[in-house]
Homo-oligomer: A and B are copies of this chain.
């Protein structure tokens, strides 16, 4: 168990140690720790060693000159200059927010970035300004389109944040796959089987083998198979890939460079620059008065919470589970798995930063 503040201090010092500015280190840390707080452990500080490996192999610029390379009143393309996606993401979202102030909406495609953490963090930045926020990113290929054997798309998540009045912000934040890769990795580490419907083996057959993806298999799109709509999950992941990659001038599809997992470091860049993202901000009062909208959002949320539920269950609003986890972990601390503690301790040793979970 470690407190969010302890984790922040450590993580900031590591980012500073590889050459980030204090402000960038603070921001990147905030994105990572917010994932740990919300229970998305796969996207939190467990990835810190990965970012450092990106730096080690020269794929990460700790002092990027992030800039707008093209714009119109409601759009921009941002070049991340190989900076941390954790820093490039909020920078680009701010451009979208600024555009929305004057044009009503702002839409920003990003290239030359890398892993930006949880999509929901970025989408939420707009909600603070009475805007609807959207964030999406592609990622290295793990997913086979419907009828394919080959991994062609990443888990390509989408987040949409919509503010309410007295109710908490609606936050849908999900991978366009049947399951997030992090959930599969948990079962992999435990040596357990995965449910049918998450992955296929090397011949395209359903599998319960958590290691199938390392052995020629692939994750399945949301919908699992054609009969249950996998072509829809594939279509959704494809749209995320095209908005993040083709629109921005980044790579796309099977050319998206891998995140820095061990033994899988070769960036195979062929059709664009680095990894891409796509952000949107829509000013609510560009459509109707924000106060009126937010009262209706309260009604929406309350009505859905009150929906008649399956016995023993309740109907959740997108964002509820993560918000409840955050409250719990702010009070009681963040649990870290032993391998994560070990890799962070090693990272601390290397840079002379003391790591001390309780």
Contacts and interface: CB of A to CB of B under 8 A. Distances in A.
A197 interface: yes
Interface string A160-200: 10100000001010111111000000000000000101100
B296 A252 contact: yes
A228 B308 contact: no
Nearest to A180: B229
A146 interface: yes
A304 B152 contact: yes
A235 interface: yes
A21 B322 CA distance: 52
Contacts of A234: 318
A195 B227 contact: yes
A303 B103 contact: no
Contacts of A197: 227-228
A69 to B, nearest CB: 9
Interface stretch (A9-17, A70-78, A333-341, A349-357): A70-78
Given A149-B308, A178-B229, A300 B74 contact: no
A323 interface: no
A-B CB proximity, top 8 nearest: A72-B104, A172-B235, A204-B310, A147-B313, A75-B104, A75-B286, A174-B232, A74-B74
16 contacts: A103-B103, A105-B105, A144-B307, A147-B309, A148-B307, A149-B310, A162-B239, A178-B229, A195-B227, A198-B228, A222-B222, A222-B223, A222-B233, A235-B318, A247-B287, A271-B296
Given A145-B304, A197-B228, 8 more contacts: A73-B102, A146-B315, A147-B313, A178-B223, A222-B232, A223-B223, A242-B297, A246-B293
